[in-house]
Amino acid sequence: MIGPVESPRGFGLQDHLCWVHGDPWDYRPRLTEFFGEGLERGLQVAYLGAGDVEELREHLDRFVDVGPLLTREAVRIISFDEIYRAGEPVVPAEVMKKYAAATQEALADGYRGLRIGADVTDLVRAPEQQDAYARFEFLLERYSARHPLSALCEYRLELGDAVTQFACLHAAVPAGLTPFQVFACDDGAVGLLGEFDAAGQAAFKRALERIQPAPDDSSLIFDMSAVRFMDHRSLLALDSYAQECQVPVLVRSMPPIVRRVARVLGLEHLGGVRTGGT
């Protein structure tokens, strides 16, 4: 699912959803639904959090109502310690490898895929952790667009404005949380969605910094078919990104209103390629 969403229901095998909450009580019914649906779909689900596995299992029992299913092997409990290094910025590629391995294990064990859910607030509390974690979020976004990994990433509102920088790197976000999103298309392109103007300018620039072409990609394609508006500043930011990127950057499906701005600014080269012959 791509774009603003109203509920955590109806997600498939390959989805990346962000949500925010004030206290754990808000989080509980959502995780119940997300995990419940995952189990119904034949997925292995994994609940992640800080602390040891027994505590986490107790926590899950107490707060999340997935009933008798909890006893099944289909519910894994994973401590953050297994994946992340406590208190340190994550190494995005390494963490991604661990989730990819866990996804493959689930498939090997006969599940249709893996579904994970975690409140990751504690992993991004320090400013120096945020950049690395956001880069990881984009890798996860990319992986989940093409592999049977679905994830619910919960952030607590106490993080303030910092929440937006993570939210905008998810294919699905609660409506109203961010004016734009950067998501992964299933063909490897980077999709842009929503409205890009001065209000989201700083967040968009930060998001761009976190996008890396995949190691084996000879070019990076941005897909603008879901862009409703993009102002000149965002377009210039995209152009700067393109100039500094180590592989050629192409833009496809640039909407007329964006093409108009690009033409006046002399940035036609951005949208002049692979747009279906226009």
Partner 1 sequence: MRTGAARGQEGHFHEAGFYSSDGEFRDLIVPFAEEGIAAGEPVIIGYDNRKNALVRSWLTDPSAVTFLADKSLYATPSRAIATYRRLLEFHAASGAGQIRITGELPHPGNGGSFEGWDRYEAAVNTVWDEFRVWGLCLYDTVTAPAAVLAVAARTHPSIVSPSGIHRANDRFQDAAVFEGLSFAPDPLEQTRPMIELVDRSAAEARQALAQIGRGRIADAILEDLAIGVTVTVSNALAHGRGPVTVRFWAAPDRIVITVHDQGRGPADPLAGLVPTPSGSAQPGLGLWLIHQLDIDVALKHADDGFTVRLRGGTTIG
In the complex, the residues that contact partner 1 under the rule CB under 8 A are 179, 195, 197-199, 229, 231-233, 236-237, 239-240, 256-257, 260-261, 264-266
**Nearest approach, Cβ of residue 127 and partner 1 (Å):** 24
The DSSP secondary-structure symbol of 85 reads -
CA 209 from centroid of its chain's CA atoms = 15
Closer to partner 1 at the Cβ: 160 or 266?
266
What is the gyration radius of the CA atoms in the chain, in angstroms? 19
Closer to partner 1 at the Cβ: 97 or 260?
260
Closer to partner 1 at the Cβ: 127 or 256?
256
Closer to partner 1 at the Cβ: 147 or 233?
233
Residue 182 near residue 172, CB atoms below 8 Å = no
Q: How far apart are CA 46 and CA 152, in angstroms?
A: 10
Closer to partner 1 at the Cβ: 126 or 198?
198
**Nearest approach, Cβ of residue 192 and partner 1 (Å):** 16
Nearest CA to 149 out of 108, 185, 106 is that of: 106
Tokens of 35: 């995990």
Contacts of 73 (CB under 8 A, 6+ apart): 44, 109
**Nearest approach, Cβ of residue 228 and partner 1 (Å):** 9
Tokens of 33: 């639904």
In the chain, where does DSSP find H-type helix? 24-40, 53-63, 80-83, 92-108, 127-146, 162-167, 201-209, 232-244, 256-265, 268-271
Closer to partner 1 at the Cβ: 77 or 258?
258
Closer to partner 1 at the Cβ: 152 or 224?
224
The DSSP secondary-structure symbol of 113 reads -
**Nearest approach, Cβ of residue 256 and partner 1 (Å):** 6
Closer to partner 1 at the Cβ: 114 or 261?
261
Tokens of 51: 């602390």
Phi, psi of 24 (to 5 degrees): -55, -20
**Nearest approach, Cβ of residue 201 and partner 1 (Å):** 8
**Nearest approach, Cβ of residue 139 and partner 1 (Å):** 29
Q: CA quadruple 234, 276, 249, 176: dihedral positive or negative?
A: positive
> Which of left, alpha, beta for 149 (phi over 0: left; psi -120 to 50: alpha)?
beta
* Residues in a beta bridge with 141: none
**Nearest approach, Cβ of residue 100 and partner 1 (Å):** 37
**Nearest approach, Cβ of residue 230 and partner 1 (Å):** 10
